[in-house]
Amino acid sequence: MTVYHMLARGSRGFTLIELMVAMVLGLLVAAGIVTVFASTSSSNKAQNQLAQLQEAGRFAVTRIGTDLRMANGQYCTNTGGVAKVASGGDALDHIRAPKVYAKKLIGAAGAVSGALGDVTTAWGAGSYPAAPTAPYTMPSFLFMRGYECSLTACTPVDPNTTISTIPAMGTALDDRVKGADVLTVRYVNPSAGWAIGGAGSSLATSSSSATIASITLTPQTALGEPPASNAVNGDLFMLADCSNAQIFPATASTGGTIVITPVANTTDGFGTSAANLPTAQQPESVPKVFDVNRDFQTVTYYLKLVSVNNDGKAPFTGALMRRVNGGAANSAHGGSEDELVRGVERLDFRYGVQDDTGKTSFLSAKDVDAATSCPPGELDALTSTGCLWRGIVSIEVSLLMDGQTPLYTLTGGQLDYRYSADTNTGLLPPSGHAIKPSDQGFPDQLLRREFNVLVPVRNYNP
């Protein structure tokens, strides 16, 4: 009996209470491990998003700055050349914009219509002058124009109502992001054009006047010049040197060489009179010919709503779009539209203008567009309105970047951010900003950071 009782006591298991205590302790340990893992995972996601956001923001401001520095660039007309006396004094005392002998500079993008056919207000619309009836100097507002946008409208006009196919503002997929500015700049592509003076290239003038009869070009492809196929019959062409530039309609025949013949009619130009035709400027300094429809770059920046998961559904984020020469529909003339980076909610531009005392003030697009007093002046100006677009010395770019994927573990102050373009005094929650993420179609639970850059415009007052 004694042996039996000893064996019974030695083989006895855990009691129910002991099992329950052990299970509770195990659950507490497991809960602690899960909590630490979840916290670490959430922190890791936030850190990864922040790193990606920082990299995307730096890339965005750098890419925008590259185009803004080129704004208003006109081959070498901006920076040198020979001074010639005109009614207003030396030509060097005036803005040296190209003289236009073409009726169809503005119009829908394409070979047989306007060269500046994207994000461009039509003649006679808003503050734009009526269609010219004689040769004129290309006005300043065609080189650069910005649009400041609220949640409901843009000033000075809505870019969607111009000659353009950029989307209207909204909160649906592929809409333009509400409250984000739009900016269009133009410049001559510095790697384009064909030089006159090389082997097989020449310029012929009319025997009765100094007007240009034809230009023969032999592309020096070995030296980096574009192929002859880049010269499209019916396009506008520009003859430029370091003193002046002229834009004119022409026919173009291509083969091993390019033969460009200015058009003298009242459909594409202003008539057969010598005053309505491009002339051979004297003296010429490093002359080149450009296909305006392709080589006079029209670059527009705006934000478009895209799907984070690429399934056409929410959550949405903003994509920074770079549109060139009318977009992909005008690919024959170098048109393209590229998504540069995602995660951009806000895009704002302020324009630095230097007065005659050397002081710089930053103006909105509306204020720049309304300006009429702009030194230096333009020869043969169509209008003084909008002349300040060529008097901009710098552009301040502000972007608000987000992490794209919502982090629902973010609470309270973790959601706060600053956006100085709204003149905020400090960190505010999403609901405290003038333009709320929810107004634009974005969730609140995102990491957000502001990026700013001041870009000097090197072609100021050429």
Encode pLDDT of 167-215 as tens digits: 999 999 999 999 999 999 999 988 899 999 878 889 999 877 789 999 9
> Which of 63-67, 186-190, 263-267, 372-376 shows the lowest per-residue confidence on average (mean pLDDT)?
372-376
pTM of the full structure: 0.87
Respond yes or no on whether the N-terminal peptide bond of residue 437 is cis (omega within 30° of 0): no
Angstrom distance (rounded) from CA 55 to CA 387: 37
Report the alpha-carbon distance of residue 78 to residue 407 in Å, rounded: 50
When pLDDT is cut at 50, 70 and 90, the band that residue 75 belongs to is: confident
Separation CA 341–CA 303 (nearest Å): 10
Domain count of the fold of the chain: 1
Q: For residue 342, how many C-alpha atoms fall within 13 Å in the half-sphere facing its CB?
A: 16
Tell me the pLDDT tens digit for each residue of 312-346: 998 999 999 999 988 888 888 888 999 999 999 99
Tell me if 255 is assigned to some domain: yes
- In which band, very low, low, confident or very high, does the pLDDT at 85 lie, cut at 50, 70 and 90? low
| Residue 88, pLDDT score | 44
Per-residue pLDDT at 49: 81
Q: How far apart (Å, rounded) are the C-alpha atoms in residues 44 and 50?
A: 10
Instruction: Let me know if residue 114 belongs to a domain.
Output: no
Can you give the pLDDT at residue 91?
Answer: 44
pLDDT confidence band for 150 (50 / 70 / 90): very high
Residue 249 lies in a domain: yes
The range of the structural domain enclosing residue 207 comes to 190-295
Residue 222 maps to a domain: yes
Q: Is residue 458 part of a domain?
A: no
Residue 242: inside a domain, yes or no?
A: yes
Q: Does residue 325 lie in a domain region?
A: no
What is the pLDDT averaged over residues 60-72? 92
pLDDT of residue 92: 46
How far is Cα 389 from Cα 141, in angstroms, rounded to an integer? 6
Q: Which residue has the tokens 């922190």?
A: 43
Strands 245-254 and 236-240: antiparallel
How many CB atoms lie under 10 A from the CB of residue 48?
12
- The residues, any chain, with a CB within 8 Å of residue 239's CB and separated by 6 or more, are 203, 212, 215, 245, 246, 248, 278, 287, 288, 289
Confidence of residue 94 (pLDDT cuts 50, 70, 90): low
Kindly tell me the sign of the dihedral angle through the C-alpha atoms of 250, 251, 255, 256. negative
Q: Which amino acid is at 321?
A: M
For the cut 50, the answer to whether the pLDDT of residue 367 exceeds it is yes
- Does 213 reside within a domain? yes
Among 51-60, 396-405, 417-426, name the one with the lowest average pLDDT: 417-426
**Higher confidence at residue 60 or residue 39?**
60
- Least confident range from 88-102, 150-164, 378-392, 427-441: namely 88-102
pLDDT tens string 104-119: 898 766 555 577 878 8
For the stretch 226-242, pLDDT in tens is: 999 999 998 999 999 88
